[in-house]
Amino acid sequence: MDLCIVGGGLAGSLAAWRYRQARPGRRVCLIEAGDTLGGNHTWSFHASDLSPAARQWLAPLIAARWPRHRVRFAAYARTLEAEYCTVTAAQLHTVISGALGTDVLVGTGATDVSPTSVRLSDGRTVQAHVVIDARGATDGPTKMGWQVFLGLELECARPHGVDAPMLMDATVPQLGGFRFMYVLPFSSTRLLVEDTCYADDPRIDIAAAESTIAAYTRAQGWAVAHEVRRERGALPIPLGGRIDDFWTSAVPRLGVRGGFFHPTTGFSLPDAVATAEAIAAIDLLTTDRVYAELRRMATERWRARAFFRLLNRWLFRAARPDARADLLAHFYSRPESTIARFYAGQLSWSDCVRLLAGRPPIPISSALRHLRE
């Protein structure tokens, strides 16, 4: 086996699929403990997050796309004319399991992972030139905030009238942290409605989130017929720390396990695409070479994204709880080009200045106390 990837979430699945696309004569094995690749999740991104070439090879996985999206705060609402796209776990599983065939092992956990072998929960061992660990979060900085969410995909009894995603509706009561509703219209009668909170604790109060979603759907006048499915999660939002905190073993890592995610939004698809392309570009895979390349990428991205961790500290530590939504409202009043680069994780120094311009709702003394990581 040339390549074995443990963990069939987004990052692991994309890496295995892209490697097979680029090098059809090589053997790649993808191991997933769950029954399907991707679990029960959706991953969204702005089209400007990716290069045209990346969007082209990712296209079979995109389940929905919209030419614009919206945000709403107490003081204003805004429509942004930027394409927004979503990959669903169902689409990911269908396409990638079909492409890899018997090289996908689902319902199979790993009890031991080394740089060149994987011991499976059923006692078998898979040997490979390179093993990559993509099993999700395990290590990381101790100073973390969390983006916790519960999403319900709902079928409505009649058309809901939503024609574009609502990325952030922060007009809901600000309970437990900065809170907003996230809405994706998959069809004229189907919506994903997600209660999202930037919280200090990764635990989710399911009953409270369900109640919030129910109140929101009633307020919007959506006649819900039934729940189709639900998803939940807790995305790490680092307030500081080092990339070394993620890399605590000799096995190369992908996804959140390797620190490959946007520090402020928690989105991981652009980084998953980048690491998949990097692995596919290596002609002769060896553990040392793959480890060095992935760790180099993780280190460069961590250093380049220090400003995002500063924003996180201001959001979680410096801003008053009742002013956290105002901080995001201040951000969304900036030019669309700056917002696009923010989501892509590619802010320039001039962008940083624009984000700080005006009067952000943070006391100066509190902001200064949190400058250093």
CATH code of the domain in which 130 resides: 3.50.50.60
Same domain, 149 and 274: no
Distance between CA 193 and CA 105 in Å, rounded?
32
Cα 27 to the chain's mean position, in Å? 28
Mean pLDDT by runs of 10 across the 373 residues of the chain is 95 97 93 94 95 96 96 94 96 96 93 94 93 86 90 97 96 88 97 95 92 96 96 93 92 95 94 97 92 97 94 84 80 90 89 74 61 66
Burial profile 201-216: b = 16 or more Cβ within 10 angstroms, e = fewer: eeebbeeebeebbeeb
Same domain, 343 and 264: no
Note whether residue 264 is domain-resident.
yes
Q: 308 is written with which tokens?
A: 């995002």
What is the extent of the structural domain holding 364? 307-369
Question: Assign residue 241 a region: left if phi > 0, alpha if psi is -120 to 50, beta otherwise?
Answer: left
Chain position carrying tokens 């596919």:
280
Q: 199 is written with which tokens?
A: 């919280």
Residue 183, pLDDT score: 98
Note whether residue 77 is domain-resident.
no
Q: Which of 155, 178, 157 is nearest to 168 (CA)?
A: 178
Same domain, 137 and 253: yes
Same domain, 7 and 108: yes
Residue 307, pLDDT score: 92
End-to-end, the C-alpha distance of the chain in Å comes to 42
Note whether residue 282 is domain-resident.
yes
Cβ atoms < 10 Å from Cβ of 2: 15
Residues 64-88: tens digit of each pLDDT:
999 999 999 999 999 999 999 999 9
Same domain, 22 and 104: yes
CATH code of the domain in which 223 resides: 3.30.70
Note whether residue 79 is domain-resident.
no
Note whether residue 74 is domain-resident.
no
Same domain, 117 and 15: yes
Note whether residue 75 is domain-resident.
no
User: Among 258, 280, 304, where does a domain finish?
Assistant: 304
Note whether residue 73 is domain-resident.
no
Same domain, 280 and 134: yes
Note whether residue 72 is domain-resident.
no
Residues 325-348: tens digit of each pLDDT:
888 888 898 889 999 999 998 888
Give the pairing type, strands 69-72 and 77-80: antiparallel
Residues 6+ apart with CB under 8 A from 373: 239, 240, 241, 306, 309, 310, 313
**What is the full DSSP assignment across 110-129?**
EEEE-SSEEEETTS-EEE-S
Give the count of domains, the chain: 3
Residues 6+ apart with CB under 8 A from 287: 115, 116, 129, 130, 131, 250, 252
User: Among 249, 280, 304, where does a domain finish?
Assistant: 304
Burial class (CB in 10 A: 0-12, 13-18, 19+), 79: exposed
Cα 219 to the chain's mean position, in Å? 28
**What is the full DSSP assignment across 203-253?**
---HHHHHHHHHHHHHHHT--EEEEEEEEEEEEEEESS--GGGT--SSS-B
Residue 33, pLDDT score: 94
